[in-house]
A = this chain, B = another copy of it.
Amino acid sequence: MVKERKLTRAEQKAQRPLQILDAAFEEFVKNGYAATRVEDIAERVGVTKGTVYVYFETKELLFESMIRHVSRPFGEIATNAETLVGSPPEKLTALLRMVYEQLFDDRQTREVMRLVISEGPKFPDIVERHERDFVNPVIASVEAILAEGVGLGQFHPGPAGFAELMVAPIVTVTVMRLIFGDRREVDKEAYIKAHMELLLHGLHRSAVETA
């Protein structure tokens, strides 16, 4: 309220599309594409249906714009991955922490994942975008570190062949959060610690023990 006073008319108008996109995110996440009413999105912003159509031609385009809108931060991971320092295990640990933050902690990214799963068949574009902007960069970053580790003789080439395995615990805990919400809480730090131990040392005691 106080802030809004500061905005000029012009600024406020410039905000409209963004407000609509944010409202659209909430509604589409709550109900899915088909079950969401344009009117509910408008209501959430405090405008009428017609206004939404001033900025977005159709509900489909609004949906796609919204996905693009909330997908913005995705690309950063790849960039940041390049700045990591330390040994491969250290870099891997650091990178995976970034993925936890991005995928598990960030509600928007998490819910985009739900929408990609549920609306993907109807909106191939968002699947492609998700692959290009999120999956591929993450996989590439992980692979780079794995390759380095293998090159240095620190990582086994076997499990290192599938970057997906490294991020799987993150994907899984995220999916469970999508499905069960708060009903199945996890001790995040303990989970991450166990995840890292598993990655680096495996379950087998003899292996580590003798090290």
Contacts and interface: CB of A to CB of B under 8 A. Distances in A.
Contacts of A175: 117, 171, 175
A159 B194 contact: yes
A27 to B, nearest CB: 12
B34 A197 contact: no
A115 to B, nearest CB: 9
Nearest to A211: B207
Chain copies in complex:
4
A77 interface: no
Contacts of A34: 31-32, 34-35
Interface stretch (A5-13, A52-60, A147-155): A147-155
Contacts of A35: 33-34, 122
A117 B118 contact: yes
Interface in A169-184: 169, 171-173, 175-176, 178-180, 183-184
B204 A191 contact: no
Nearest to A130: B179
B118 A32 contact: yes
A14 interface: no
A42 interface: no
B117 A161 contact: no
Contacts of A210: 207, 210-211
B31 A159 contact: no
A127 B177 CA distance: 12
A102 to B, nearest CB: 16
B202 A198 contact: yes
A156 B200 CA distance: 12
A114 interface: yes
A99 interface: no
Interface in A104-158: 114, 116-122, 127, 130-131, 135, 146, 149, 153-156, 158
A179 B149 contact: no
16 contacts: A32-B118, A158-B194, A159-B201, A159-B202, A160-B203, A162-B169, A162-B190, A164-B173, A164-B176, A164-B191, A167-B172, A168-B171, A171-B172, A175-B175, A198-B202, A201-B204
